């Protein structure tokens, strides 16, 4: 599942999204399908919890209420899995996991077929073929036999079933499809299904079973009465803009949450936001950092308004159109500099002690994401954000770096505000073994772990260092935290921003949208990041000499 968790995060003069996969609410359906029960990519590991829940529903075992006394017998059962655990416990199907179910851990092929066997009360069958990894008389033997007979899963090759292999999405889909009597989709069809799930558009016809759980709108009767009174009795009724009323009400709902990351976006704002996802933003076109509580230009982008107006690296932005930016925080300062294309922002600049004003016309600019330089035999990979370019183009770049056999790699995430979770996963996958955990994502009724699904491009013997500062947020913190937990890289610099929540982004049919906090993420070892940040292994404050970079180079040389 692609979290597009990402989270959408307000920050820099660049894309600031950690996209979470949006929920697509469909019309009511009369029958279950694999697509409804299991949301997983074909080559992604499937967790115990997700497979258990899908199997319970596929076998029509999810009708009864949760037995609270049963749940207390197990450790750490998220609410979203409690009904499935209760049903499986009743059928003695959880013995393979023990008391700590570890529902976020990938399930193995042998565990999956044995779980289905016990849930469905199937009679064990001895395999008709010889399998070297299935011990005669073992508890998994009968499940493997049923799996082959009924077409759940076949051996991965002659003589090997793959009982200890992690269950991949395509295999889980095969099992659930067979249980439901469906024809399992091909890999190409699975990709199309996933692309459809990843769509950013939501249709406004919700599942009937979901509506009953939404509850009544607070003070809905009063709001409706007020609206009726306005329509009937207001003297200047011709001035009433019903669209504005609707938008204002939606904005008020989100504003009442008192969460800066949860907002309603009108169509224009929503379209602008979607452009950010593609790496395009409207602003002055400069890379910036937060230094000494002041927004400071690192470098203007080539051909940008900032470059045309003569802004230079090291320039400090003190004010934006009369608003003092000093000390208000990195994210908020950036928002004041950015704005609608074509508008003018009056910047108060400090350069070498002298202060002056600059009028800059905002333009939509394409933000670069990857910069690769070499310091001798050491590769320096600077990521400016985690957008679509990073997701698509980083791995080929890392493969080229590996071909040159570097002495070490420095991953520079300073002032990187974040981006797509999948892009962060992609970055981590270059350095750690396939199937390594990247982050734990905990929602109100669900808990899942994101794993890498690609082989590393960089040899494990090549040392890595991550540079980080207070402007490193969201996806940057996911990467730094994961590489730190896996002891794959040493983190140098300052404590990161501390943005550890996940936002869901939905776009409605009129192009308006909602961005809402739906989950919190933790490092693979369970460390909390929100409001805390990632602590560096070597603390070095930002300075003019760039001692953070110098330290990394020193350690690699």
| Catalytic pick among 57, 382, 440, 499 | 499
d(CA 155, CA 151): 10
d(CA 10, CA 331): 6
| Catalytic pick among 474, 476, 496, 512 | 474
Q: Is 351 in a helix, a strand, or coil?
A: strand
d(CA 137, CA 139): 7
Active site residue 177: no
Task: Quote the DSSP letter at residue 363.
Answer: E
* Cross-strand bridge partners of residue 493: 468, 539
- Which residues, other chains included, contact 68 with Cβ-Cβ below 8 Å and sequence gap of 6+? none
Active site residue 359: no
Task: Quote the DSSP letter at residue 528.
Answer: B
| Catalytic pick among 50, 315, 391, 485 | 485
* Cross-strand bridge partners of residue 492: 467, 538
> What Rg value do the Cα atoms of the chain yield, rounded?
26
d(CA 193, CA 205): 20
Q: Which helix (H) or strand (E) holds 466?
A: strand 464-468
d(CA 428, CA 269): 32
Q: Which two tokens stand for residue 250?
A: 């939606």
Cα separation of the two ends of the chain: 40
Active site residue 275: no
Task: Quote the DSSP letter at residue 158.
Answer: T
Is residue 183 a contact partner of residue 193, using CB atoms and an 8 Å limit? no
Known catalytic residues are: 474, 485, 499
């Amino acid at each position: 599942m692609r979290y597009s968790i990402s989270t959408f995060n307000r920050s820099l003069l660049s894309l600031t999204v950690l996209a979470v996969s949006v929920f697509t609410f469909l019309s009511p359906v009369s029958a279950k399908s694999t697509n409804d029960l299991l949301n997983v990519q074909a080559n992604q590991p499937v967790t115990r919890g997700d497979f258990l829940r899908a199997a319970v529903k596929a076998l029509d075992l999810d009708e009864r209420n949760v037995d609270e006394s049963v749940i207390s017998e197990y450790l750490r059962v998220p609410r979203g899995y409690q009904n499935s655990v209760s049903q499986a416990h009743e059928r003695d199907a959880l013995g393979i996991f023990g008391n700590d179910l570890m529902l976020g851990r990938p399930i193995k092929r042998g565990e999956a077929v044995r779980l289905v066997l016990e849930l469905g009360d199937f009679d064990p069958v001895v395999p008709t073929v010889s399998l070297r990894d299935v011990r005669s008389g073992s508890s998994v033997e009968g499940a493997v036999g049923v799996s082959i007979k009924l077409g759940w899963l076949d051996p991965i090759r002659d003589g090997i079933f793959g009982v200890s292999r992690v269950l991949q999405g395509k295999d889980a889909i095969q099992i659930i499809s067979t249980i439901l009597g469906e024809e399992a989709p091909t890999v190409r069809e699975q990709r199309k299904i996933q692309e459809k799930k990843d769509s950013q558009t939501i249709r406004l016809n919700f599942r009937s079973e979901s509506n009953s759980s939404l509850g009544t709108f607070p003070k809905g009767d009063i709001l409706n009465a007020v609206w009726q009174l306005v329509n009937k009795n207001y003297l200047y009724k011709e001035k009433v803009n019903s669209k504005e009323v609707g938008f204002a009400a939606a904005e008020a709902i989100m504003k009442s949450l008192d969460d800066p990351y949860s907002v309603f976006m009108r169509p224009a704002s929503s379209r602008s936001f979607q452009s950010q996802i593609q790496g395009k933003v409207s602003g002055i076109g400069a890379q910036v950092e937060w230094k000494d509580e002041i927004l400071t230009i690192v470098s203007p982008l080539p051909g940008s308004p900032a470059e045309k107006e003569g802004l230079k690296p090291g320039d400090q932005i003190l004010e934006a159109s009369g608003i003092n930016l000093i000390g208000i925080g990195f994210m908020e300062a950036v928002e004041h500099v950015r704005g609608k294309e074509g508008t003018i922002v009056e910047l108060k600049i400090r350069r070498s002690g002298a202060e002056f004003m600059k009028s800059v016309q905002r333009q939509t600019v394409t933000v670069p994401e990857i910069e690769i330089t070499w310091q001798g035999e050491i590769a320096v990979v600077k990521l400016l954000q985690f957008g679509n370019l990073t997701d698509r183009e980083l791995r080929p770049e890392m493969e080229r770096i590996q071909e040159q056999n570097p002495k070490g790699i420095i991953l520079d995430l300073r002032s990187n505000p974040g981006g797509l979770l999948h892009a962060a996963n992609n970055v981590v996958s270059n350095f750690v073994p396939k199937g390594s955990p990247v982050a734990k994502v905990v929602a109100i009724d669900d808990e899942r772990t994101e794993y890498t699904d690609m082989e590393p491009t960089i040899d494990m013997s090549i040392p890595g260092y991550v540079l980080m500062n207070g402007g490193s947020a969201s996806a940057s913190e996911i990467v730094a935290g994961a590489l730190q937990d896996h002891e794959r890289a040493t983190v140098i610099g300052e404590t990161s921003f501390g943005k550890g929540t996940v936002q869901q982004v939905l776009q409605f049919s009129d192009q308006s949208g909602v961005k809402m906090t739906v989950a919190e993420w933790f490092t693979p070892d369970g460390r909390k990041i929100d409001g805390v940040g990632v602590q560096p292994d070597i603390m070095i404050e930002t300075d003019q000499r760039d001692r953070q970079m110098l330290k990394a180079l020193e350690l690699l040389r």
